[in-house]
A and B are shown apart, each in its own frame.
Chain A
Amino acid sequence: TQLLEQSPQFLSIQEGENLTVYCNSSSVFSSLQWYRQEPGEGPVLLVTVVTGGEVKKLKRLTFQFGDARKDSSLHITAAQPGDTGLYLCAGPFAAGNKLTFGGGTRVLVKP
Chain B
Amino acid sequence: DAGVTQSPTHLIKTRGQQVTLRCSPKSGHDTVSWYQQALGQGPQFIFQYYEEEERQRGNFPDRFSGHQFPNYSSELNVNALLLGDSALYLCASRERGNYGYTFGSGTRLTVV
Residue numbers of A with Cβ under 8 A of B are 4, 6, 31, 33, 35, 40-45, 48, 50, 88, 90, 97-104
Contact = CB atoms under 8 A, between A and B. Distances in A.
B103 A98 contact: no
Chain B contact residues, majority secondary structure: loop
B106 A98 contact: no
Contacts of B100: 33, 45, 48
A88 B56 contact: no
B58 A98 contact: yes
Contact of A43 (B45, B48, B56, B103): B103
Interface stretch (B36-44, B66-74, B75-83): B36-44
B92 A100 contact: no
A40 B105 contact: yes
A101 B42 contact: yes
B42 A104 contact: yes
A90 B103 CA distance: 13
A36 to B, nearest CB: 11
A103 B42 contact: yes
Contacts of B42: 4, 6, 88, 90, 101-104
B43 A41 contact: no
B2 to A, nearest CB: 14
B7 interface: no
Given A98-B33, A98-B56, A50 B43 contact: no
Contacts of A99: 33, 45, 92, 101
20 contacts: A6-B42, A31-B99, A33-B99, A33-B101, A41-B106, A42-B103, A42-B106, A43-B90, A44-B103, A45-B100, A45-B102, A48-B99, A48-B100, A88-B42, A98-B33, A98-B58, A99-B33, A99-B92, A99-B101, A101-B42
B23 to A, nearest CB: 11
Given A98-B58, A99-B101, A42 B41 contact: no
Contacts of A100: 45
